[in-house]
Structure 1
Amino acid sequence: MPEAAKACGLRRGRYSEVERVYLLTAVVKERRPVFSDWRIGRLLVEQMRATDEAGLVVSLAWVVMPDHLHWLIELKRGSLAQLMCRVKSRSSRSVNLLRGNSEPLWQRGYHDRALRRDENLKAAARYIVMNPLRAGLVQRLGDYPLWDAIWL
């Protein structure tokens, strides 16, 4: 299997389904805190928003932590592999351009979890956006610049 396919593919035995809600997690290579600088984090956010604008997903909630991303989406078109490959490659390009380097930004692959329709999506969104509080990065959620949720 080509290296790019391994980097963007789903875990063995998984498949993506349009109209399903997924919780996606991607981790920065070597867990470097690249997104501690909120301006660099905004480059990732721009790529995520572009997928909404392109009709690939509906973003329900997300948080960009210093070294990883949690993203709750409803897949509208394409596959999870295509989505994550697009976001990771385009954000890598933007971040490297800003930083003046060509280092890999992301670890290979990503974690996906399909949520059932009857699961409480608002509770999942709250859990996602509360990550900065649990990590001790801020005292109030409103103080953290890299999160959003359609319900909050």
Structure 2
Amino acid sequence: MYLLTTVTRHRECLFADLARARVASRVIHAASTWADARLLAWVLMPDHWHGLLQLGDEPLGRVMNRFKGCASRALHESCGLDGPPWDRSFHDHALRADEEVRAVARYIVANPVRAGLVDSVLAYPYWDAVWLDGDASPLL
């Protein structure tokens, strides 16, 4: 289980643009983006992305490269974006056995509130968590 962060190139606020944020969110939400990994929670901020990922058989680097590549292609095709949207690297933190997964997910989705973008997580459109499904306990 990993807490992941990747930033936009030069920390540009690419996803302050509604169309770009929607395109990227569709890619993030697509199961095919993650193959056999499972994205448990995520938030797309104006200049970065956070995710909580449970790895499958693929190495983390390959999963992140696919995500960034899929998002890049979609942004180029749909929004006419020039150049790479993402910084080349990403930050990962492997969760320890004693770290509460839902607490990490809450931290991720509360990012827009801490950044002062909204007063409530529910007012921010670019996030999701598996605990919001009807068959799971609520995250918030």
TM range, smaller chain: 0.7 to 0.9
Check if 1:57 corresponds to 2:57: no
Deviations along 1:42-63, whole A, 9 cap, x unmatched? Answer: 3222223334676421111110
Check if 1:96 corresponds to 2:73: no
Counterpart in the other structure of 2:17 = 37
SS of 2:30's equivalent in the other structure is: helix
| Alignment length (residue pairs) | 132
CA spacing shift, 1:59–1:40, aligned 2, 3 Å: same
Counterpart in the other structure of 2:57 = 77
Aligned mates of 2:23, 2:92 — CA distance in 1: 22
Return the TM-score normalized by structure 2.
Answer: 0.86
Counterpart in the other structure of 2:123 = 143
Q: Relative to structure 2, which stretch is displaced further, 131-140 or 115-124?
A: 115-124
1:23, distance to aligned residue in structure 2 (A): 0.6
Aligned-pair identity (%) = 44
Deviations along 1:70-108, whole A, 9 cap, x unmatched? Answer: 000100131111111111111111112222243111111
Which amino acid is the alignment partner of residue 65 of structure 1? M
Deviations along 1:6-49, whole A, 9 cap, x unmatched? Answer: xxxxxxxxxxxxxxx00110000011111112432232222233
SS of 1:92's equivalent in the other structure is: helix
Q: Which runs of 5+ in 2 are unaligned?
A: 132-138
